[in-house]
Chain A
């Protein structure tokens, strides 16, 4: 596959590889959050598909169900489901990630399954603890055990230890390549733009991981050999609410900011931590998800997140941080405010910006980002 062709996968909801997968009568399960253990899905030969709002033209269908106080990304993804655009899925996994996303389990149950999707469409809910303790770890381990049993029963399959180890290897390879590519964006002369990185991460979340690994390693080889580009006014780290639309990063890069690092769900938060390959595979998977770089849903882990942020700022030679919040995203909104105060103490500039999933007001974002870059230049 050509470089552009791979990135193009991010521009549509479904893609040719999904269609091919379906033709082979294999299963695809949508999921809402980075705490859903993809290793288990790979072990079950199920394609995990991260839920997105790509291609939604508005939220009018979703707005008949949800409130205007709900996150517009969630509304966009629901709108697509109500339009039948997610009918290629064979199941959906939600979890207690944020209040907007967790309610998708309920909305699908009452309003999508049986109407847009078939009556027997399986919905699954994972309960993930909100703090890091030994009891919490054991709870999550049990959750993953139950999840495996449910998958086995529903799809009439058997998931062995070997299957789990295969899942771990494939996912680890995937994350290692993404991490290496991240290294190339963070060079003094970045070899890859923030826009392309996001497209790559989005494409990676929507195709079989074995194929993604082949394509990503080809990209890695090619990009490694390319010349870099230091023609930027400021090196930016992007954090905050979910971004699956590269347009926002394009706005930053168009005004001279190079997005050389991030702390996003479609970014480092998803690929940074690897899973231990020796020992009990399910315990290793649980440890990876429980102790990975967390999202603000983890209530007692802000300090560790801030340490990670500082480390990225230092290692990726970041000049300024942009923290965005989709309106009504309480978790990232407060997290950004905390970062802003903490970074201020360290004299690291940060811009916090609220936005809509659809990025309606491009002019406003551009003006604010340009002013921020001028300030740090």
Chain B
């Protein structure tokens, strides 16, 4: 059977190569979080590859959907926004050739690379989805890119959309609950499968368990020096995207929690040297350079405490309720999911979240990666800068870049800007 998810094969090889390098490279006790990440994610990707090879249908979907809900079916889930960025971290040439393919098709250069990468891979015939689905959130790039990916992919592949309303209130949650339920059932119909609600509940249980560990980890991030390496920020983003509703998700966060607890007890950081600056990243960290976060910790003593994907304003969903109630709970989670919560609603949420987190975590500064693709977030940079200055008393640096494409702003330039900024604080 033809490999329907070729980028995952590339990913698996890249993960294994990195794993061998990391296992054999650093001293005992170093890069523990990365090691755990590679171990768990490799396992999941390997499983996806096996399943795809055994004819399990491939479901392409947006990160703003909690993948758990689709585990009511036998599927191989592919989160579009995950694959270009993880490859940009692991491959020397990143995902550049895929972005270029999308550009040469006519996709404007300024759209979000998170979806453009999958468009390029699709143009290249590397994915064969059986169904594609997305909510209408959180941004123009979603509205613009998904229909194109589905159009180019194959005309007869079902493309299912759930409308996510703008308001994050009871009226909005109710509307979206109904949309999500319809989407789940439509996906089943497209796959010719009946939903297995027990499997669905089990997937949510795994994520609930992970959520418990995440909140404990985030408690430990308050400790100074921060016992967790900055690298957890991009790694956690990847785990949320790549390991939904599976035991490995909980296992990874359990590992991280153990590591953090030990360090917090002995007042250690992940790296030698002092924690000089505690920083908060109201947008995402950088994906295209895997060594960047280590550089922050080691070279300038900066801890990246949290980015937009690392603090989850989510409540666990009680799986003892009836299915409709569970779906409503997941719908609410989906609307409050990182990035969706802040991107799809008024500025107040982004501002209040990061003013709150900066205070709670005693950040000394903020760094905003102004991603060229993300027009709604770059619109709010100045509002946030002023709020952090006036309400928390901390400065915010903005770096214009593409988080998944090293060519837009080089890592050297990013580092230089951060170095200069740090000099003004210390």
Contact = CB atoms under 8 A, between A and B. Distances in A.
Interface of A: 64-71, 96, 98-100, 102-103, 105-107, 109-111, 125, 127, 129-131, 133, 135-136, 139, 296-297, 299-300, 302, 325, 327-331, 333-338, 340-341, 352, 354
B346 interface: yes
A299 B143 contact: yes
Contacts of A111: 382-383
Contact of A103 (B370, B379, B386): B379
A334 B150 CA distance: 14
Interface residues of B, number: 44
A68 B143 contact: no
Contacts of B380: 103, 106
B187 to A, nearest CB: 16
Contacts, number: 136
Contact of A325 (B108, B140, B178): B108
Contact of A139 (B175, B347, B373): B175
B375 A300 contact: no
Interface stretch (B88-96, B160-168, B222-230, B253-261): B160-168
Nearest to B376: A99
B100 to A, nearest CB: 15
The 8 closest A-B pairs by CB, nearest first: A337-B106, A333-B108, A130-B136, A106-B347, A127-B166, A103-B379, A67-B378, A334-B144
A341 B182 CA distance: 32
Interface of B: 105-108, 110-112, 136, 139-148, 151, 161, 163, 165-167, 172, 175, 178-179, 346-348, 370, 372-373, 375-376, 378-383, 386, 400
Contact of B379 (A70, A109, A329, A352): A70
B107 A299 contact: no
A70 B370 CA distance: 11
Contact of A99 (B165, B370, B375, B382): B375
Given A127-B167, A299-B161, A69 B378 contact: yes
Nearest to B378: A67
A64 B382 CA distance: 8
B398 to A, nearest CB: 8
A67 B146 CA distance: 25
Contacts of B386: 110
28 contacts: A67-B379, A69-B372, A69-B375, A69-B378, A99-B375, A100-B376, A103-B375, A106-B346, A106-B380, A106-B383, A107-B379, A110-B383, A125-B166, A129-B165, A133-B163, A135-B163, A297-B143, A299-B136, A302-B147, A327-B110, A331-B140, A331-B143, A331-B144, A333-B144, A334-B144, A337-B105, A340-B106, A352-B106
Contact of A100 (B106, B348, B379): B379
A337 B102 CA distance: 11
B111 A107 contact: no
Most chain A beta-carbon neighbours within 10 Å: one of B172, B379, B382: B379
A98 B166 CA distance: 12
Contacts of B142: 299
Nearest to B108: A333
A69 to B, nearest CB: 5
Could you say which of A136, A299, A302 has the most chain B C-beta atoms within 10 Å of its C-beta? A299
